[in-house]
Chain A
Amino acid sequence: MSNNDNFQTKADNAFANIGNVIYRFRWLVLILFIGLSFGALTLSGTVRTDNSFDAYFQESDSTYKNYINYQKDFGSDEVTYILYNAPDKEHGPFDMDVMEKITKLTQELENTVPFVEEVTSLSNVEFIDADGDSMQIRKIELDFPENQQKLLERRDSMLDKPIYINSLVNKEGSDAAIIIEMSRTSSDPIEMLRVDPEAGDVLPNLYPQASNQKINEILAKPEYAGISFYRTGDVPMNANYNEIVTAESETFILLSIILVAVITIIAFRLHLATLFGPILVVLLGVFFTLAFMGVADYSIGLLFLIAPVLITAIGAAQCVHFISEFQQQRRSGETRQVAVRNTLSHVGLPSLLAALTTAAGFFAMSGSKIKAVADLSIYLGVGVIALFFITVIVMIVFLSFGKNEPVKEKALTVNRREKLSQGILSAVYNTVIANPKRVIMAFAFLLVIAVAGLNQLKVSFNFITDFNESATVRVETEFAEDKMGGILNVVYVFNTEQADGVKSLAVLEQIEALQNKANEFDLVSKTYSIVDLLKDINQSFHGGDKAYHTLPESDDLVSQYLLMYEISGGEDLDDYLSGDYSKAALELRVQSQDSYLVIDFMEELNQHLPSAEVQAQTAKVEETGVGALWMKMADYIAESQISGYFYAFVMIAVLLCLVFGSVKVGLISMIPNLVPIVIVLGYMGWAGLHLDYFRLLIATVAIGIAVDDSVHMMLRLRREFFKTGNYAQAIKNSLQGVGAALMTTSVILVVAFSVYLTSQMNVLGSFGSLLTLCIVMALLADLFLLPALMLVLKPFGKEFKAKLSF
């Protein structure tokens, strides 16, 4: 017997002893465990929800720091954008009645919506108006036109000014917008996000849900009837994300539990332990994970949505091995006490290994620069290890209750389902034995096709199409983008590093040049900068003459115009300039296309940035805004995918090599886990499915879960080979021993992951179906490829004639 056999035997004996102890003190263990569970339940309530961009980036990330600095200089960039039209009115937004309503609505939004910084609409936007020797900054709400004709004259003046087009009104004047700038970002400390400081952290009391809810309430009022509103921007998007995450987290837990219950009832005969054991295991698994998140200050983000189902699937799969082994023990005539002991003895080590390999798969992503992914990998890894201990305690305690004597003969008979699975496994055995090389060739063929598909795999994401086609926020966003242009912010900050530095014409000309270039791209629907305002003032100062829609002619005039603008009551400089005028922002509004299109555009535009020499003499240009975050996130996704998969593979392979005491056996057992992942990623490449922040998890999640079944299969193959000395016999015995459990766990995983298909988020549904495909491929690889590799590679050595032991 090798050292490795010693290790396995010692581990089996240790688990057998644990089984004995739990059986003897089952009541005490139960009471202690209930106490612990209540503690976990309490702590699980302390976790907060955060789906803003801040949830995706580490605080130390330089791109993210630039973004935070940008927000500090130019204010929170979170907005609600409300597009509106009045289809029944001849003059649309410029109808007197509509304008009066919008004036009232603007004031109501500003005065009653929580966390509003400023509301801008046609009724209160600054309009620099020239009339002979006078110039004034006018607002419709302060100087409401006396009649329809006067309002139409104002409309014509507004449509004549580029500064308003595609931001507050489209060029036809048929659709207009209200822009609500918020004073908060979703990443502010929780105490700053509560509407009522005493009302706790329920979603309706927190930003942005509270703001979104109030906006919806106001827009639904009868006094605004006749105007159609379409809401988009950060507040509705984030609020919808948060509400969906919270609602679906609960629904998913419930659905998963029902499915687990149904499957265990079908798979095993109805029994207290088989029904309530797995349910309790998965519920406690979720609560312990949440408790850890609460203690370690991890927040619930969009990615958390996968957690309850993953924990349910992994927990239920572990339970299946316990129940399956226990039933086999009882069938062989053991008393309950012996069956419990033997179950833990046989299943304990493979289950612990399975938990460790699954956790390793998650931990491999903990180095990801995407904060949400790194966080998820830690709390899920910890959750999976906790789940192992929960499974051992709950299942062994549950299986310990009941009569101790052997079961009656009737209960030992094989049912129809078991006959069916034995038939399938016989067919599998016959196929593999008949021509193992052909089986290997078939998988190799699939692999070659998949590798070709890998080359076409692209990193990209789109936060709008993440929502289902019917989701209100997506429908309204797409409508708003179609009418008025993009809602995605790409920002270039020109930093002169000296107070008043941006008042220099040299700097302004740099901004103008980049802005003009940006306007040439179809993807860009609107650009804003201080240059627009200065051109508008210059034109107004010269009696509205369009020939003067240019930058002022001297530095002094720039300064004097800005001073005049401020003295006249102009208040928009904050949007363009930092407080000390050392920085100016050029803001591009870009259509929310797939991120790779936005990134391509930004890379092309970056070719037109001033040279390093010019920047050193004028202003340093820094990219920021959501566009820069997208660019960085795409880099991180690609990086996480490569490094995460590498680390997962290495960690799991090392673990398996150690357990099997052989590098060869360890690496062979990795093959059935590698193959399905390459096939799925290859399929994504062929199908044009992009690698996004969700799908990047597929490889490591799948390898972690798929390897569980491989571990069970490989340990059984090894045990059976050393028992029989014959690979074919070992395969036959192993398929009979764990084949049914592998199929059951795979069915549970597939059914559990299909819960993702019910999500309102496309991104999650797609993640679920790809993961399902991965699990099916992994099962096929475990049943066909692994035995075929055994026969061809003979990893345990030459066959021998078995001696009868004991």
Chain B
Amino acid sequence: MYLAVKNNIAKPAVGLFLALSILSLPALANSSADNKAKGRQIALEADKRESGFGNSEELLKMTLRDSRGNERVREMRIRVLERADGGDWSMTVFDNPRDVKGTALLTYSNGLEPDDQWFYLPALKRVKRISSKNRSGSFMGSEFAFEDMSAFEEVKYDYEFIREEPCGEQTCFVTQWTPLYENSGYSKAIVWQDTTEYRTHKIEYYNQQGNFYKTLIAKDYKLYKERFWRPMTLVMTNHKTEKETLLNYKDYQFDLGFTQSDFSQSALKRFR
């Protein structure tokens, strides 16, 4: 279920259609079929509003906190190239801790298929291709799963609008997303998105046994390029293990002129 790294692509035509459709949502949302349609439209509209940023670079501080409050911190820089013909490409280089400084990861997102990834180890000065089909697995040892960080694809979920309710000073759509892809760790997720900007504020995840499993809180939204809202803080709490992962983003930059050649295996070795 995407959110933390925005690297999907919007379809303008679909977006226009959706924008028009959503205007008439309250009248439609009477039956189960209507609720499903409305849920899908909300998700697509949110996705549309995130798309079209081109390329970006930001700093990320990841804090892994165990149930006893012990912490490990990683700091990294992330470059993203939005691609029109499929999943986005990203390059991540680690700055901290010191012993992993210069370690870098190149990812080609493949939607429903496993991502292609290459990993550069400065200690051996070697690049290794790595891959995993484990969508429900932990992302970098955090409480985020790979599926939480992967690109949005409309076909990956079944959607159902549940209700509207106040969320802080705003009003939120509350929608249920049910994964349709194989090997998900979730049976469903309940998503809170505000009705004005379609920003996601909270997601509650339920595991395959149907038990309340994790909560994601997204906050401190900032507007970039007068169009793109980005959360500066994401907190994922695992209620089973009582572990928590904090993602703090900062220094978002856009339109840096990245091209595909900046996202190659040779570029991976040079990325500092």
Chain A hits for B121, CB < 8 A = 557, 560-561, 564
Does A500 contact B72, Cβ atoms closer than 8 Å? Answer: yes
The answer to whether A297 has its CB under 8 Å from any CB of chain B is: no
In the complex the two chains form, what is the Cα distance from A337 to B134 in whole Å? 85
Chain A hits for B65, CB < 8 A = 579
In the complex the two chains form, what is the Cα distance from A110 to B67 in whole Å? 22
Does B138 contact A571, Cβ atoms closer than 8 Å? Answer: yes
Does B72 contact A134, Cβ atoms closer than 8 Å? Answer: no
Contact with A along B93-122 (1 / 0, CB 8 A): 010010110010100000000000101011
Does B66 contact A579, Cβ atoms closer than 8 Å? Answer: yes
Q: How far is the CB of A400 from chain B (nearest CB, A)?
A: 61
> Which residue in chain B gives the minimum CB-CB distance to A136?
B131
In the complex the two chains form, what is the Cα distance from A560 to B93 in whole Å? 12
Does A567 contact B134, Cβ atoms closer than 8 Å? Answer: no
Interface size on B (CB < 8 Å)?
Answer: 39
In the complex the two chains form, what is the Cα distance from A111 to B183 in whole Å? 12
Q: Contact partner of B183 among A142, A183, A499, CB < 8 A?
A: A142
Q: How far is the CB of A45 from chain B (nearest CB, A)?
A: 30
> Which residue in chain A gives the minimum CB-CB distance to B207?
A111
The answer to whether A26 has its CB under 8 Å from any CB of chain B is: no
The answer to whether A555 has its CB under 8 Å from any CB of chain B is: yes
Q: How far is the CB of B122 from chain A (nearest CB, A)?
A: 7
Does A571 contact B137, Cβ atoms closer than 8 Å? Answer: yes
The answer to whether B26 has its CB under 8 Å from any CB of chain A is: no
Q: Contact partner of A499 among B71, B117, B241, CB < 8 A?
A: B71
Q: Contact partner of B123 among A183, A557, A580, CB < 8 A?
A: A557
The answer to whether B128 has its CB under 8 Å from any CB of chain A is: yes
Chain A hits for B146, CB < 8 A = 569
Does A568 contact B130, Cβ atoms closer than 8 Å? Answer: yes
Chain B hits for A559, CB < 8 A = 97, 99-100
Among A117, A558, A568, A582, which residue has the most Cβ atoms of chain B within 10 A?
A568
Q: Contact partner of B66 among A134, A552, A580, CB < 8 A?
A: A580
Chain B hits for A143, CB < 8 A = 133
In the complex the two chains form, what is the Cα distance from A137 to B119 in whole Å? 14
Does B97 contact A541, Cβ atoms closer than 8 Å? Answer: no
Q: Which of B128-144 contact A (CB under 8 A)?
A: 128-134, 137-138, 140-141
Chain B hits for A137, CB < 8 A = 130, 132, 134
Contact with A along B233-272 (1 / 0, CB 8 A): 0000000110100000000000000000000000000000
The answer to whether B70 has its CB under 8 Å from any CB of chain A is: yes
Does A133 contact B129, Cβ atoms closer than 8 Å? Answer: yes
Q: How far is the CB of B78 from chain A (nearest CB, A)?
A: 13
Chain A hits for B240, CB < 8 A = 117, 183
The answer to whether A535 has its CB under 8 Å from any CB of chain B is: no
Chain B hits for A578, CB < 8 A = 66, 70
Known: A142-B183, A557-B121, A559-B97. A569 touches B67 (CB 8 A): no
Q: Contact partner of A500 among B97, B105, B241, CB < 8 A?
A: B97
Chain A hits for B72, CB < 8 A = 499-500, 579-581
In the complex the two chains form, what is the Cα distance from A548 to B194 in whole Å? 54
Does B138 contact A579, Cβ atoms closer than 8 Å? Answer: no
Q: Which of A125-161 contact B (CB under 8 A)?
A: 133-139, 141-143
In the complex the two chains form, what is the Cα distance from A112 to B209 in whole Å? 6
The answer to whether A405 has its CB under 8 Å from any CB of chain B is: no
Q: Which of B143-171 contact A (CB under 8 A)?
A: 146
Q: How far is the CB of B106 from chain A (nearest CB, A)?
A: 11
Contact with A along B190-220 (1 / 0, CB 8 A): 0000000000000000001100000000000
In the complex the two chains form, what is the Cα distance from A564 to B134 in whole Å? 15
In the complex the two chains form, what is the Cα distance from A110 to B187 in whole Å? 13
In the complex the two chains form, what is the Cα distance from A137 to B65 in whole Å? 25
Does B128 contact A567, Cβ atoms closer than 8 Å? Answer: no
The answer to whether A573 has its CB under 8 Å from any CB of chain B is: yes
> Which residue in chain B gives the minimum CB-CB distance to A582?
B70
Q: Contact partner of B141 among A73, A136, A566, CB < 8 A?
A: A566
The answer to whether A435 has its CB under 8 Å from any CB of chain B is: no
Chain A interface mostly: mixed
Q: Which of A553-609 contact B (CB under 8 A)?
A: 554-561, 563-564, 566-571, 573, 578-582
The answer to whether A503 has its CB under 8 Å from any CB of chain B is: yes
The answer to whether B64 has its CB under 8 Å from any CB of chain A is: yes
In the complex the two chains form, what is the Cα distance from A553 to B76 in whole Å? 25
Interface size on A (CB < 8 Å)?
Answer: 45
Does A133 contact B128, Cβ atoms closer than 8 Å? Answer: yes
Q: Contact partner of A557 among B124, B127, B138, CB < 8 A?
A: B124
Chain A hits for B71, CB < 8 A = 499, 579-580
The answer to whether B225 has its CB under 8 Å from any CB of chain A is: no
Chain A hits for B130, CB < 8 A = 134-137, 564, 567-568
Chain B hits for A133, CB < 8 A = 127-129
Q: Contact partner of A560 among B64, B99, B132, CB < 8 A?
A: B99
Chain A hits for B208, CB < 8 A = 110-111
The answer to whether A72 has its CB under 8 Å from any CB of chain B is: yes
Contact with B along A104-119 (1 / 0, CB 8 A): 0000001110000100
Q: How far is the CB of A785 from chain B (nearest CB, A)?
A: 61
Known: A503-B99, A559-B97, A563-B94. A554 touches B66 (CB 8 A): no
> Which residue in chain A gives the minimum CB-CB distance to B211?
A114
Q: How far is the CB of B132 from chain A (nearest CB, A)?
A: 4
Q: How far is the CB of A401 from chain B (nearest CB, A)?
A: 60
Chain A hits for B99, CB < 8 A = 500, 503, 555-556, 558-560
Q: How far is the CB of A50 from chain B (nearest CB, A)?
A: 23
In the complex the two chains form, what is the Cα distance from A555 to B119 in whole Å? 18
Q: How far is the CB of B251 from chain A (nearest CB, A)?
A: 22
Q: Which of A727-769 contact B (CB under 8 A)?
A: none
In the complex the two chains form, what is the Cα distance from A72 to B67 in whole Å? 8
In the complex the two chains form, what is the Cα distance from A601 to B71 in whole Å? 36
Known: A73-B68, A135-B128, A557-B121. A563 touches B138 (CB 8 A): no
In the complex the two chains form, what is the Cα distance from A503 to B99 in whole Å? 9
Chain B hits for A558, CB < 8 A = 99
Q: How far is the CB of B196 from chain A (nearest CB, A)?
A: 36
In the complex the two chains form, what is the Cα distance from A72 to B140 in whole Å? 21
Known: A142-B183, A559-B99, A567-B105. A579 touches B132 (CB 8 A): no
Chain A hits for B122, CB < 8 A = 556, 560
> Which residue in chain A gives the minimum CB-CB distance to B210?
A111
Q: How far is the CB of A574 from chain B (nearest CB, A)?
A: 8
Does A569 contact B124, Cβ atoms closer than 8 Å? Answer: no
Q: Which of B32-63 contact A (CB under 8 A)?
A: none
Chain B hits for A571, CB < 8 A = 134, 137-138, 141
Q: How far is the CB of B55 from chain A (nearest CB, A)?
A: 22
In the complex the two chains form, what is the Cα distance from A135 to B64 in whole Å? 25
> Which residue in chain A gives the minimum CB-CB distance to B242?
A72
Q: How far is the CB of A560 from chain B (nearest CB, A)?
A: 5
Chain B hits for A141, CB < 8 A = 183
Does A567 contact B117, Cβ atoms closer than 8 Å? Answer: yes
Known: A554-B123, A579-B70. A142 touches B134 (CB 8 A): yes
Known: A579-B243, A582-B70. A568 touches B209 (CB 8 A): no
In the complex the two chains form, what is the Cα distance from A559 to B123 in whole Å? 10
In the complex the two chains form, what is the Cα distance from A556 to B71 in whole Å? 20
Known: A135-B130, A499-B72, A556-B99. A567 touches B119 (CB 8 A): yes
Does B103 contact A563, Cβ atoms closer than 8 Å? Answer: yes
> Which residue in chain B gives the minimum CB-CB distance to A566?
B141
Q: How far is the CB of B57 from chain A (nearest CB, A)?
A: 19
14 additional A-B pairs beyond A134-B128, A135-B128, A569-B138, beta carbons within 8 Å, are A137-B130, A138-B133, A143-B133, A500-B72, A500-B99, A555-B99, A556-B122, A563-B103, A564-B121, A567-B130, A567-B140, A573-B141, A579-B72, A580-B70
Interface CB pairs A-B, < 8 A, 30: A110-B208, A111-B208, A134-B129, A134-B130, A135-B130, A139-B134, A142-B133, A142-B134, A143-B133, A183-B240, A499-B71, A499-B72, A500-B97, A500-B99, A541-B128, A555-B99, A556-B99, A556-B100, A556-B122, A560-B123, A561-B121, A563-B94, A564-B130, A566-B141, A567-B105, A568-B119, A571-B138, A571-B141, A579-B64, A579-B65
Task: Return the 3 tightest CB-CB contacts between A and B, nearest first.
Answer: A579-B66, A580-B70, A569-B132
